[in-house]
């Protein structure tokens, strides 16, 4: 079984950009989203994947990722996914031994900036960067 332990936070300001490394522009869309799970297609960085994630709120979820052909993903995004599509640029930011993913949203979600951290254990301690705001892990 694949699991994901992830915490999400709003971002207070742009000071994280000083530490930002790699970035990739992503497009994603949901094929199915319901009470049990969500199924989404994501493309970015010349790759694509199909992602299935349990819909439980909180920091622990079942998650499965499968690579798919980029052309198939682009076709699914164009013709099969619910609207609006999610467009964002993801930045990787190293801080105190962890890699944060900072997503800067565009399109219908422009102005939203969210930082995520994946953890090994549910109650794992981690250093909170100064730019980290309110936790939204339990906010759908």
Q: Which two tokens stand for residue 69?
A: 């052909």
State the burial class of residue 27 (Cβ atoms within 10 Å of its Cβ: 0-12, 13-18, 19+): buried
Question: What gap in Å lies between CA 100 and CA 132, rounded to an integer?
Answer: 11
Instruction: Indicate if the pLDDT at residue 80 is higher than 90.
Output: yes
Question: What are 41-76's pLDDT values in tens digits?
Answer: 999 999 999 999 887 767 888 999 999 999 999 999
Instruction: Indicate if the pLDDT at residue 2 is higher than 70.
Output: yes
With beta carbons less than 8 A apart as the criterion, state whether 58 and 5 touch: no
> Any catalytic annotation for residue 91?
no
pLDDT of residue 99: 96
pLDDT of residue 61: 87
Q: What is the DSSP string of 61-85?
A: EEEEEEE--HHHHHHHHHHTSPSSP
Question: What gap in Å lies between CA 52 and CA 77, rounded to an integer?
Answer: 15
Question: What are 82-119's pLDDT values in tens digits?
Answer: 999 999 999 999 999 999 999 999 999 999 999 999 99
């Amino acid at each position: 079984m694949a699991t994901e332990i992830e915490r999400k936070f709003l971002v207070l300001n742009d000071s994280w950009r000083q530490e930002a490394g790699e970035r990739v522009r992503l497009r994603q869309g949901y094929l199915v989203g319901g009470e049990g799970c969500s199924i989404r297609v994501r493309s970015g960085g010349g790759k694509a994947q199909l992602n299935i994630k349990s819909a439980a709120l909180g920091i622990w979820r079942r998650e499965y990722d499968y690579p798919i052909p980029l052309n198939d993903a682009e076709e699914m995004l164009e013709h099969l996914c619910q609207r609006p599509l999610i467009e964002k640029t993801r930045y990787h930011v190293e801080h105190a031994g962890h890699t944060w993913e900072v997503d800067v949203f565009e399109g219908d979600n422009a102005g939203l900036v969210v930082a995520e951290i994946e953890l090994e254990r549910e109650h794992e301690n981690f250093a909170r960067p100064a730019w980290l705001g309110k936790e939204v892990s339990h906010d759908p």
